[in-house]
Structure 1
């Protein structure tokens, strides 16, 4: 069991959740406020996507990221900023016997350096790297991260002095993490997020989780999460497995059956779970020291 746990709050994501919850953060102000709320509830890290304020759909507009980050920094509330770099790797094939041309409504594919424009400009302490390609939920959507794309992104993130959080959705992704380490593209301490229960990646049963935990690179720091009603139980599971915790509205909309959650409520509940287990919840300054992060403001 991990006796000193940090909590990450994934405050909004990019999924189709706006119509499923009355208070999904959409505007930069709402996303920044959600991150501040999470910090005040006990989160050390805010994992941040942005959304188009008009449509609510996920976006990679650097101006939106800039407003969110500036609002958080101007608030003087301390939290480690973790910006997604997962946008720009989306392919949606055409249906049935006509996979080409690609569906323009959902396809957004850009080069590896363009996916990092906001990271280069804003220099967050952490950004994410999704460590493989996979069928992501039903339909014809493919989350696309080729080895050459990931190598280029890892090299640029390393040059920028930003810590990559390596998003591992399946066992093959963990194999690729080890390859990046072998090639010198990841600096210590390596930071891994085990993303469990995402269709069609690794299921969130205990046998699968622990098999992945036992395959982690030596000396790495990891967190683990699951989705929906399994999110809060995974706060206990992740800590007991030796890791850290992620909660937030990106992955789960409810505090209990039929009760919509806020990010602050999910963080507070996770903090209570972890502390009830006898662990101590780390603050952002301690996480910076542990992960060797450079505070940017």
Structure 2
């Protein structure tokens, strides 16, 4: 089972805006439909953010989360992974509001503060659907995504130890692996670790295949290969090429419209499920088997959906 590949799907995120793709799920109904389709296509983990259904802006409102999370859990067996990162302009209290209520099996956890920018995308768009979008995208040029050691420690204590939630450790740079190692040494993180290496975000590691080897070697040195499960996230057009290289190297994979709006060159993905189907075909061509949700739970040491507080 440890050789099976876990497919994660990040359904909507807080990066892209409605103008960028008509297929980006915004409303609770759209998020439910696309999550269910992605799970049916083979995604074992669904990584979820919330959006204000009126205009698509990122939201941390627990009331909005509750309009789609229970329904997704009722209709799929997928692991529900709730963001603790939210968006770059949310406070930590806002980001934790719903996860601390839900006590999910899994949550994302960004492993360091960083410049996180998508501002170049604004130059490609002339007409925006909503007035919030352009200043939001352009504003990332002057935003620091805050995840201090104290912030991370609080999440590990309150959401991890306090709620039994395990984490998708999002590492955008080599230094984030060392930050994670610090918390392992402090006894606040215990294996098996689920390390999500992220490539292609402006402010983080570049999307070069050589960087995958550097991350793999560093993680092996810091944690020992037997103590972690590695996953690859390639942003934008780098999604499928980097995931393919990562899978060959023994990594799990993450797709979804949070990470890339496209299925191929110049071709918008019409759903999250399309990306899941594509990476599943690639994995099959590599003679790799895909993990079921329950197999993913066993691999990652998750507590099970029956202990989530719906």
TM-score normalised per structure 1? 0.89
Retained in 2: the 8 A contact 1:158–1:187?
Answer: no
Partners of 1:176 and 1:194 lie apart in 2 by: 13
SS for the counterpart of 1:223 is strand
| Superposed CA offset, 1:169-228 (max 9, x none) | 001111100001001111221111001111111112122121111111221111011112
SS for the counterpart of 2:302 is coil
Q: Does 2:186 align with 1:183?
A: yes
Retained in 1: the 8 A contact 2:4–2:288?
Answer: yes
Retained in 2: the 8 A contact 1:31–1:68?
Answer: yes
Q: 1:128 aligns with which of 108, 123, 126?
A: 108
| Superposed CA offset, 1:42-96 (max 9, x none) | 1100011111111211111111112221111222x211100100026x3xxxxxx
Partners of 1:20 and 1:150 lie apart in 2 by: 31
Question: What is the CA distance between 1:164 and its match in structure 2?
Answer: 1.1
Retained in 1: the 8 A contact 2:209–2:242?
Answer: no
SS for the counterpart of 2:287 is coil
1:34 maps to 34
Q: 1:269 aligns with which of 278, 284, 291?
A: 278
4+ residue segments displaced more than 3 Å: none
Give the number of equivalent residue pairs.
276
Partners of 1:175 and 1:253 lie apart in 2 by: 31
Partners of 1:282 and 1:176 lie apart in 2 by: 29
SS for the counterpart of 2:218 is coil
SS for the counterpart of 2:68 is helix
SS for the counterpart of 2:305 is coil
Deviates more, 1:34-43 or 1:138-147: 138-147
| Superposed CA offset, 1:134-178 (max 9, x none) | 111141011111111111111112221111111000011111000
2:149 maps to 147
Q: Does 2:235 align with 1:213?
A: no
Q: 2:294 aligns with which of 285, 289, 294?
A: 285
Q: 2:238 aligns with which of 227, 230, 239?
A: 230
SS for the counterpart of 1:108 is coil
Retained in 2: the 8 A contact 1:83–1:128?
Answer: yes
Q: 2:201 aligns with which of 188, 198, 203?
A: 198
**Quick check: which one's helix share is greater?**
2
Question: What is the CA distance between 1:3 and its match in structure 2?
Answer: 4.0
1:240 maps to 248
1:82 maps to 81
Retained in 1: the 8 A contact 2:17–2:57?
Answer: no
Q: Does 2:173 align with 1:170?
A: yes
Stretches of structure 2 lacking an aligned partner (at least 5 in a row): 120-140
TM-score normalised per structure 2? 0.85
